[in-house]
Amino acid sequence: MDYLPAENRYQSMRYNRCGASGVKLPAVSLGLWHNFGDVDVFANGRTIARRAFDLGITHFDLANNYGPSPGSAEENFGLMMKKDFHPFRDEMIISSKAGYLMWPGPYGEWGSRKYLVASCDQSLKRMGLQYVDIFYSHRPDPDTPLEETLGALDFIVRSGRALYAGISSYDAGQTAQAAKILRDLGTPCLIHQPSYSMFNRWIEDGLTKTLGAEKMGCIVFSPLAQGMLSNKYLNGIPDGSRASKHTSLTADRLSPERVAQIRKLNEVAQRRGQSLAQMAVAWTLRDPVVTSSLIGASKVAHVEEAVGALAKPDFAAAELAEIEAILK
């Protein structure tokens, strides 16, 4: 049956302006890093993506290597575009990236113009799209001049493959340089995509200040620390959870000290009338420099819970202080 999105999909989501650009992003966005590959059940990913769109999530984040196997998340998303979302393309912000290993040989990763342009073409083909809304340099390349990597992003935008350029995981200094290079080329850098959560606060050490000064948007990934900041691991590692799969989240990250911290944070969340996952999402959005919190989900309920965070976004000073004390 044809997909008909919820008519009320724009009624409750909050849309935040992305830096000084004309674009707004939903406060919660959905990433397809895990759970959308060819090892996963397509129908589950499709239900998650549909529910996300029904809840006002207009932004779907991909990368060349998402799967496994690499490329398969983009292929599956392409199928969803064809089956469900193609009438709504203009209501969506779809991003992809290149930076990590995608194909063998010297041109299959990092930041050369050769790799970025070829990878962007491959992503468009896999997703069946004429253009992506945002194309990112997925990581800084220590061996390629920034001018080359960012010149490639400028070319990708000017050639119509993408509407906007973005960078991911660049530090504060690299970000300031990238902003200047792209500004001088006439393709301002729309957005930075760094990791950020209560357990990973590196962006507070200079990057957020730079993003504010450069008037660049910021979409933070892994706001739940890959699920650690939820009630999932309070009593061990459940079967089927990300930590049980020994991929990007390893069980050793859930030390007894970490679990004790999670329990205390869970109590703060309960007192706020939120789940821990909701408090984790709300916490990443408390600095207005953060445009969107980029979650992952293995179930529809995860998306619903994350969006529910927006019902209670504010923190009392005492709550923030209590969280700080737990995180010390």
Ligand X SMILES: NC(=O)c1ccc[n+]([C@@H]2O[C@H](COP(=O)([O-])OP(=O)(O)OC[C@H]3O[C@@H](n4cnc5c(N)ncnc54)[C@H](OP(=O)(O)O)[C@@H]3O)[C@@H](O)[C@H]2O)c1
Binding site for ligand X (CB under 6 A): 31-35, 61, 138, 168-169, 193, 221-227, 230, 232, 241-242, 277, 294-298, 302, 305
CA separation for the pair 320, 268 (Å, rounded): 10
Instruction: Give the shortest CB-50-to-ligand X separation in angstroms.
Output: 17
Quote the least distance from Cβ 116 to ligand X, whole Å: 15
Q: Which is nearer to ligand X, 33 or 85 (CB)?
A: 33
Nearer to ligand X, 23 or 297 (CB): 297
Q: Where are the beta strands (DSSP E) in 154-302?
A: 162-168, 189-193, 217-221, 292-295
Q: Provide the minimum distance between the beta carbon of 293 and ligand X in the complex, in angstroms, as a whole number.
A: 8
Strand partners, 93: 59
Give the nearer residue to ligand X in terms of CB position, either 277 or 282.
Answer: 277
End-to-end CA, the chain: 52
- Strands 59-61 and 28-31 come out as parallel
Query: What are the φ/ψ torsions at residue 257 (nearest 5 degrees)?
Result: -65, -40
Q: How many residues does the chain have?
A: 328
Across the chain, how many H-helices and E-strands are there? 10, 10
Cβ atoms within 10 Å of 245's Cβ, excluding its own:
15
Query: Nearer Cβ to ligand X, position 87 or 238?
Result: 238
- Closer Cβ to ligand X, 184 or 204, answer by number: 204
Least Å distance, CB 1 to ligand X, is 27
Closest distance of CB 221 from ligand X, Å: 3
Shortest distance (Å) from residue 4 CB to ligand X: 26
- For residues 4 and 39, which CB has a smaller minimum distance to ligand X in the complex? 39
Of the candidates 71, 137, 126, the one whose C-alpha atom is nearest the C-alpha of residue 99 is: 137
Backbone angles phi, psi at 202, to 5 degrees: -60, -30
Distance of CA 17 to the CA centre of its chain: 16
